[in-house]
Amino acid sequence: MPDMNWLDAVKWDAQGLVPVIAQEASSGDVLMFAWMNREALGKTAELGRAVYFSRSRGKLWFKGEESGHVQTVHEIRLDCDNDVVLLKVTQQGHEPGIACHTGRHSCFYQQHDNGQWRAVEPVLKDPESIYK
């Protein structure tokens, strides 16, 4: 088993979590934001796929476990304050990859436009057909 002391460098919040940004390695697109606990970050490094912590479910969330939209992790980076993690990933499942539960490529599909939020990315696959 590899040495897990590298996890001690992360500044975990009061709930033992760290914010995580998933960025598509090939395009640089920001795909999503989520949370990880120590176990999730360790498993992500071990497996080479994104494992997050679901605050609403109170458990590990293996990205793609229901949708098939797995994130293969190429790099794990830590910011200058050691309190935000960046994953450089390849988003699997559909082309281009779908990261968002709305069936879109990115969770950041809404753009501020003259005092309103406007969807600027298309739904690539109906969420009803993704989640059964």
Model confidence over 51-74: pLDDT tens digits?
999 999 999 999 988 888 899 999
Q: Answer whether residue 4 is part of any domain.
A: no
Q: Answer whether residue 7 is part of any domain.
A: no
| Whether pLDDT at 117 is above 60 | yes
Supply the Cα-derived Rg of the chain in whole angstroms.
15
Distance from C-alpha of 83 to C-alpha of 15, rounded to nearest angstrom: 13
| Whether pLDDT at 9 is above 60 | yes
Q: Answer whether residue 2 is part of any domain.
A: no
Distance from C-alpha of 99 to C-alpha of 121, rounded to nearest angstrom: 12
| Whether pLDDT at 119 is above 70 | yes
Model pLDDT, residue 121: 93
Mean pLDDT of 19-48: 96
Q: What CATH number is attached to the domain comprising 105?
A: 3.10.20.810
CA angle (8 as vertex; 6, 11 as ends), nearest 5: 120
Model pLDDT, residue 126: 86
pTM of the model: 0.88
Model pLDDT, residue 2: 59
Q: Answer whether residue 8 is part of any domain.
A: no
Distance from C-alpha of 63 to C-alpha of 33, rounded to nearest angstrom: 12
Domain count, the chain: 1
Residue type, 87: L
Q: Answer whether residue 94 is part of any domain.
A: yes
Which tokens is 19 given? Answer: 């914010």
Domain that holds residue 37: 14-130
Model pLDDT, residue 1: 53
Model pLDDT, residue 132: 62
Distance from C-alpha of 34 to C-alpha of 41, rounded to nearest angstrom: 12
Model pLDDT, residue 55: 94
Distance from C-alpha of 122 to C-alpha of 117, rounded to nearest angstrom: 14
